[in-house]
């Protein structure tokens, strides 16, 4: 199984267009220790030809250009994207669908019915797509393994996460099972397993069980501290209130990842522009390295 990190930043990317925090300022001035990043998305394949696009970032056209496997050029109009899966209804995970509107057939898309509702009402993105290629919907069932036509060799299952729905959702600040999911992907040939959860707000027993059973976890790295955005004056909300478990502190992501078996590869993704781990020479980054935790970057390749 091949996992290609198309984008590794949180919403807004890195640098964020209107942000002058220390991290964004550093990347704009050419710091060699800060890599620009697009908004988070991954592509997964068992045969390196047919790919599942997991979340459709607003930067999807740039990401496809940077990863030729998604544009194999076998015909006049072609794509290596066999299907798209949405893990939530957030803007930074869904608006890239509009950039895929020239698809020759209805776009094969998997999402939970709550996500479909949010993107049909509060943010009626699917109604817009109906005027173009349209969408071939497949409802995500929770905790039940399934296969996707056109993606040979992969078995998948979606797990409900306690996170937060977008501001235009009726479930904002009232989490419902399915409005945010984590994804387990198993290579049917090797048995290797990936767990992907860029929006993980709280550890629950079923999530922890899935992480322990995985060979690689690619999980929420949004903010370093719970009050990071507040202390910078960038927001009035804590990390957990936004639906993201901070890395540091009691009950933080580092503490949980330290409990995983040594054989599990641990990678953080969905990194917010304010997070000091974006500075590859920062004390926070060195702390992650000491704990055996990697930080995803655009173009990162993981083989399982």
pLDDT band at 286 (very low <50, low <70, confident <90, very high): very high
Tell me which of 56-60, 124-128, 223-227, 228-232 is least confident: 228-232
Domains, the chain? 2-303 (3.60.15.10)
Confidence of residue 26 (pLDDT cuts 50, 70, 90): very high
Peptide bond into 244 cis (omega under 30): no
Confidence of residue 179 (pLDDT cuts 50, 70, 90): very high
Per-residue pLDDT, 178? 95
Q: What is the DSSP letter of 133?
A: T
Give the CA angle between residues 198, 46, 38 to the nearest 5°. 35
Average pLDDT, the chain: 96
Burial class (CB in 10 A: 0-12, 13-18, 19+), 74: exposed
Query: What single DSSP character describes residue 276?
Result: G
Rounded (5°) CA angle 258-261-263: 115
Residues 221, 225, 227, 229: is their CA dihedral positive or negative?
negative
pLDDT, position 243: 87
CA-atom Rg of the chain in angstroms:
18
């Amino acid at each position: 199984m091949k996992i290609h990190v198309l984008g590794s930043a949180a919403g807004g990317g890195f640098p964020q267009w209107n942000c002058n925090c220390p991290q964004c300022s550093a990347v704009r001035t050419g710091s060699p220790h800060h890599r620009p990043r697009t908004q988070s998305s991954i592509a997964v394949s068992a045969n390196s030809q047919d790919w599942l696009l997991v979340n459709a970032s607003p930067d999807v056209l740039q990401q496809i250009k940077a990863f030729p496997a998604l544009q194999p050029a076998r015909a006049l109009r072609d794509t290596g994207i066999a299907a798209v899966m949405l893990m939530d209804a957030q803007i930074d995970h869904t608006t890239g669908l509009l950039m895929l509107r020239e698809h020759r057939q209805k776009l094969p898309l998997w999402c939970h019915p709550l996500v479909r509702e949010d993107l049909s009402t509060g943010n009626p993105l699917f109604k817009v797509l109906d005027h173009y290629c349209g969408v071939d919907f497949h409802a995500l069932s929770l905790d039940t393994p399934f296969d996707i036509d056109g993606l040979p060799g992969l078995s998948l299952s979606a797990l409900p996460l306690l996170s937060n729905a977008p501001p235009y959702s009726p479930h904002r600040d009232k989490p419902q099972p399915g409005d945010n999911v984590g994804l387990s992907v198993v290579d049917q040939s090797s048995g290797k397993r990936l767990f992907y959860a860029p929006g993980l707000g709280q550890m629950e027993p079923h999530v922890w069980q899935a992480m322990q059973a995985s060979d690689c976890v690619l999980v929420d790295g949004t903010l370093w501290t719970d009050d990071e955005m507040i202390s910078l004056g960038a927001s009035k909300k804590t990390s957990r209130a936004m639906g993201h478990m901070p890395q540091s502190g009691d009950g933080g992501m580092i503490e949980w990842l330290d409990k995983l078996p040594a054989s599990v590869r641990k990678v953080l993704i969905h990194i917010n522009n304010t997070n000091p781990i974006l500075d590859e020479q920062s004390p926070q980054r060195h702390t992650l390295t000491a704990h055996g935790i990697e930080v995803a970057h655009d173009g990162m390749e993981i083989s399982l």
